[in-house]
Amino acid sequence: MAINMDMQFDNYDSRIKYYDLMLERDLDYLPCFPLPDGYRFVFYRQGDCGSWIEIEKSAKEFTSYEQGMAAWGKYYAANEDILPKRMVFIENTDGQKVATATAYYDVLGQDTSGDGWLHWVAVHREYQRRGLSKPLVSYALDVMGKLGYTHAKIPTQSTSWVACKVYLDLGFRPIPQNAAENRKGWEIVKTLTGHPALASFRPAAMDEIIVK
């Protein structure tokens, strides 16, 4: 397979080899990024499940509404009573929800550290590249800190390389165990972002990035 070295990749690109990635940072000295004019933060209200699915689907986290409902059932359905203090949306002037993130924890019980987990960060495709990502993440992290967490983790993947760059810009770093187990994923992110925080990783060659 011939690889085009000038290939352009999407924000969430299924052509990229998939690796589970995990980042972390302490919740002191958080950066603060104000929202652009015309947007505001709101918390989850009953009935917002559909808006959440639409945002995530637009951002290519899901390919169908049914996939979104399955994810909602897995992560949120049993805890909807706490979402009004944890699930954040950005609304535009028309009241349309265009981005979301949740100051959460590992509801699957695999992480026993008690750390906060930033869940399902997404910006609607039509509203990407409008300066919403960093304000969204920094606001959700502030919410997490006010809930009493002192350390945050973010699960993501190599296919979401643009999101990885945002997290690295905000002071997150690869969890050492994850960096060792999924080093090839971080090498892919190194190549696609050139982020200085990944200086210890070698860049991946293009034939190591593309799904053949």
In degrees and rounded to multiples of 5, residue 147 shows phi and psi of -80, -5
Write down the H helix ranges in 127-199.
133-146, 161-169, 176-181, 183-193
How confident is residue 109, by pLDDT bands cut at 50, 70 and 90? confident
Task: Say how far apart CA 208 and CA 190 lie, in whole Å.
Answer: 12
Q: How many other C-beta atoms are found inside a 10 Å radius of the C-beta of residue 27?
A: 18
Q: Is 5 exposed, middle or buried (0-12, 13-18, 19+ CB in 10 A)?
A: exposed
How confident is residue 2, by pLDDT bands cut at 50, 70 and 90? very low
Domains annotated for the chain, with CATH where assigned, are 8-28+156-212 (no CATH), 30-149 (3.40.630.30)
pLDDT in tens, 35-91: 999 999 999 999 999 999 999 999 988 999 999 999 999 999 999 999 999 999 999
Task: Say how far apart CA 101 and CA 184 lie, in whole Å.
Answer: 27
Point out the least confidently predicted range of 9-23, 83-97, 128-142. 9-23
The label of the residue with tokens 């165990």 reads 177
Whether residue 4 is predicted with pLDDT greater than 90 in this model: the reply is no
The label of the residue with tokens 């909602």 reads 72
Question: What long-range pairs does 72-79 form, CB within 8 A, spacing at least 24?
Answer: 75/104, 75/107, 75/119, 75/120, 76/49, 76/102, 78/107, 79/107
Q: How many other C-beta atoms are found inside a 10 Å radius of the C-beta of residue 131?
A: 14
Question: 188 CB contacts (<8 Å, ≥6 apart)?
Answer: 16, 17, 19, 158, 161, 204, 208, 209
Residue 1: the pLDDT is 32
- Helix/strand/coil for 98: strand
Joined tokens for residue 161: 């390389």
Average predicted confidence (pLDDT) for the chain: 93
pTM comes to 0.92
Whether residue 145 is predicted with pLDDT greater than 70 in this model: the reply is yes
